């Protein structure tokens, strides 16, 4: 039987949908149907295992899965021997320390001899070790934010995205310890055949990511503005310029980075550009 790369994906939760979406954008078609623990792609040599995110680093270390999609926070917490292959740009969050909102915060020394509730004892312990501050860590598995209110701890360390959960529980964020996003991790000793599949998968992931960061634009412009417009539009090599039926005008096609886009459009309008169309790119291979 030909080898397949076993990819661990979160079974349900915040990473699940985006992970499956990434596979789909990479052209990996999975049969529908929920609740399965394992599934195979028809058109790419991979098998998907659906697991709890906490277990993914361990299973990848053991080789139960060859690679996995998981939050960096779980990778740091579990300290398993796995390779972080590529950051995936989704499920971004920060891990912060929060205290009751009426307490006066005096800097990190505030935490000296305090009790802190968290589901991430390893990351927290490493942090306070580094800062040489002595704390007691109370490990709890969920609903960390209620701990100070019920007298279980003086502070908490947890994942924050908007901060509204903290607010609702009468807490304030006082230290941002680290930022995390989803990452593709790999077992340290993949067979050559599996390495090859991983390379192909990674190539597709990069093409999808590149595409999402860029836009295809077309516009019409007076011929006299072409040199200045070309200057603004590097394109992949250089922009495509085609004559229009109307003399003195050309059509210009190019690729621009999403974050430079508005700036470039404004400048092009000043140079006489018209009929600017902006089109999303599905895949981008350069
Ligand atoms: P599982 O049942 O698989 O153990 P879980 O309840 O531990 O799931 P989720 O809440 O689904 O985990 O979060 C999964 C990951 O999503 C987190 O480990 C983190 O990397 C990321 N994440 C991004 N934003 C948030 C957020 N606001 N709250 C929690 N996790 C977030
Ligand atoms: Mg979990």
Q: Which tens digit of pLDDT belongs to each residue from 251-284?
A: 999 999 988 888 898 999 999 999 999 999 999 9
119 CA to middle of ligand 2, Å? Answer: 9
CA 239 to chain CA centroid, Å, is: 30
272: in domain? yes
Asked if residue 269 and residue 137 are part of one domain, the reply reads no
Last residue of a domain, one of 180, 200, 234: 180
Asked if residue 170 and residue 63 are part of one domain, the reply reads no
Q: Return the CATH number at 230.
A: 3.30.70.120
Q: Which tens digit of pLDDT belongs to each residue from 27-50?
A: 999 987 667 899 999 999 999 999
* Cβ-contact 62, 188 below 8 angstroms: no
Asked if residue 63 and residue 204 are part of one domain, the reply reads yes
275: in domain? yes
Residue-level pLDDT at 36:
82
Integer Cα distance of 213 and 68 in angstroms:
24
| Integer CA distances (angstroms), 139 to 25, 167, 204, in order | 38, 22, 39
Q: Which tens digit of pLDDT belongs to each residue from 174-196?
A: 999 999 999 999 999 999 999 99
Asked if residue 97 and residue 172 are part of one domain, the reply reads yes
Rounded to 5 degrees, φ, ψ at 181 are: -145, 175
- Name which residue sits closest to atom 29 of ligand 1, judged by CA: 159
- Name which residue sits closest to atom 12 of ligand 1, judged by CA: 13
159 CA to middle of ligand 2, Å? Answer: 12
Confirm or reject: Cβ of 181 under 6 Å from ligand 1. no
Confirm or reject: Cβ of 119 under 6 Å from ligand 1. no
Residue-level pLDDT at 235:
67
Sign of torsion over alpha carbons 38, 44, 46, 49? negative
* Cβ-contact 135, 156 below 8 angstroms: no
Asked if residue 46 and residue 28 are part of one domain, the reply reads yes
Mean pLDDT of the chain: 94
Which atom of ligand 1 is closest in space to residue 162's alpha carbon? 27
Tell which wins on pLDDT, 31 or 100. 100
Which bound ligand lies closest to the C-alpha atom of 144? 1
Q: Return the CATH number at 33.
A: 3.40.190.10
- Give the strands of the sheet with 115-118, arranged side by side: 136-139, 115-118, 155-160, 93-100, 171-180
286: in domain? no
Give the residue numbers spanning the domain of 144.
93-180
């Amino acid at each position: 039987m030909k080898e397949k790369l076993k990819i661990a994906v979160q079974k349900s939760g915040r990473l699940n949908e985006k992970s499956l979406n990434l596979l789909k954008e990479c052209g990996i078609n999975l049969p529908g149907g929920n609740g399965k623990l394992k599934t195979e792609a028809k058109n790419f040599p991979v098998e998907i295992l659906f697991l709890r995110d906490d277990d993914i680093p361990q299973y990848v270390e053991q080789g139960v899965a060859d690679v996995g999609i998981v939050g960096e926070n779980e990778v740091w917490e579990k300290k398993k021997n796995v390779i972080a292959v590529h950051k995936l740009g989704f499920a971004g969050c920060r891990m912060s320390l929060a205290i009751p909102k009426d307490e006066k915060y005096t800097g990190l020394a505030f935490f000296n001899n305090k009790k802190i509730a968290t589901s991430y004892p390893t990351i927290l312990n490493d942090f306070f070790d580094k800062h040489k501050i002595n704390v007691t860590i109370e490990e709890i598995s969920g609903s960390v934010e209620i701990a100070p209110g019920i007298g279980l701890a003086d502070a908490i360390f947890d994942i924050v995205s908007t901060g509204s959960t903290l607010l609702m529980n009468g807490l304030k964020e006082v230290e941002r310890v680290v930022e995390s996003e989803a990452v593709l991790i790999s077992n340290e000793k993949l067979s050559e055949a599996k390495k090859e599949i991983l390379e192909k998968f990674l190539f597709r992931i990069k093409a999808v990511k590149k595409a999402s960061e860029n836009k295809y634009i077309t516009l019409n412009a007076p011929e006299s503005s072409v040199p200045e417009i070309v200057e603004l539009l590097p394109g992949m090599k250089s922009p495509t310029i085609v004559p229009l039926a109307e003399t003195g005008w050309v059509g210009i096609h190019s690729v621009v980075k999403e974050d430079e886009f508005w700036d470039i459009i404004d400048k092009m309008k000043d140079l006489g550009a018209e009929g600017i169309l902006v089109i999303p790119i599905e895949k981008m291979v350069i």
